[in-house]
Amino acid sequence: MLLLAGLFLLIYVLVYAGALLAEVLINSDGSVDYYLMAASRDLIAAFPYATIAAALWIVIAYFFHQNMIDAVTGGEDVTRQQQPRLYNLLENLCISRGIPMPKLKVMDSPALNAFATGLNRRQYAVTVTSGLLRTLNDQEIEAVLGHELTHIRNGDVQLMVVAVIIAGVVGFFGELFFRMFTNLSWNSSGSSWSSSSSRSSSSSSDSDSKSSGGGAVIVVIIAVALIVLAWLLSQVVKLALSRSREFLADAGSVELTKNPDAMISALRKIENRGELAGATSAVMELCVDNPREGFADLFATHPSVDSRVKALVQFAGGHDTGPLALPSDPADEPEDDQAEPQSADQLPPPVPRGPWNDPGKPAGGPPPVPQQGSLSGPLQGPWGRHR
């Protein structure tokens, strides 16, 4: 509720900043006091409209936030028939702990990520990427699903959705006002602000023009500072999604699956591979891992994978194998066609050409004699065993 109240406060700050810019556009010859008083009157006049608009936005976001997120990410509902493997893993976790089954969604993306959304039981949903399904094994997918179910159990998803609502509306109006600011231009005389519309101010003296121009500059700086302040406060709202919630979700996943190693290996595979193309920063805050780091990591809401794995090793008894390289990573591909595989695990399987997988034997022949280069002496017996 405090976060929602903060949304209204940020809206009023943005309205006041917009009123300052509008007053400068209308009249560039005023003083600082004139602009501040005029903007205050504008805020009072716009107060009921801003309140209604903010309340309407909250209602729309409450009922349609999932549609908005699906429109950005491309997530689609799936059934047991469409995704039996994924559906059964999620259903087993819910049954084992008596958790209501959330909706299951899949988004077509090569990224490795997942997130949970919803404000009540009827809206709860877990979305995973197709890349995650292709890359992770069943135990690792189960660990990721347990992570998202813990977010639902702990009530984190409500807080995250509110943050998405606040960050989205503040970002929208902030961009709108900055576009208005770019329409302002400092004229060649350096004495006043002007817009694309023509205005005549020949009646003012040079000294008045300088003072009024200085007042306009100060007011515009104040307006920009308020917009930046509103944006920073919206980032503080994101920081209200304490990083500890990710540690708690990892711990909850281990509690559900009893398998800390699966959670560790899942995090190692997801590490730096979770970027959702086209997704806003607000949506990325919902994910298991957010590879986008804030300025100097100050605004990052996700702890690093290393710190999360270290916590699982220390408190859950897991084993860390270190960063994992996947076959799809560009760094793992050979530089040319003549490159040799680095290990036996990367060797391609033999191509079967006959019923006994022997390239040199015709169909129906006896099985081949295995090559035992490291053993000496003749091979005896029908299967080439030593006697």
With beta carbons less than 8 A apart as the criterion, state whether 223 and 42 touch.
no
Any idea which residue has 């530089």 for tokens? 335
**Secondary structure E strands in the chain:** 76-77, 103-107, 114-117, 125-129, 185-186, 193-194
**Secondary structure E strands in 61-113:** 76-77, 103-107
First to last CA, the chain: 81
Residue 95 CA to residue 39 CA, distance in Å, equals 58
The 3-state secondary structure of 297-333 reads: HCCCCCCCHHHHHHHHHHHHCCCCCCCCCCCCCHHHC
With beta carbons less than 8 A apart as the criterion, state whether 245 and 154 touch.
yes
Burial of 57 (0-12, 13-18, 19+ CB in 10 A): middle
Burial of 100 (0-12, 13-18, 19+ CB in 10 A): exposed
Burial of 309 (0-12, 13-18, 19+ CB in 10 A): buried
Active site members: 148
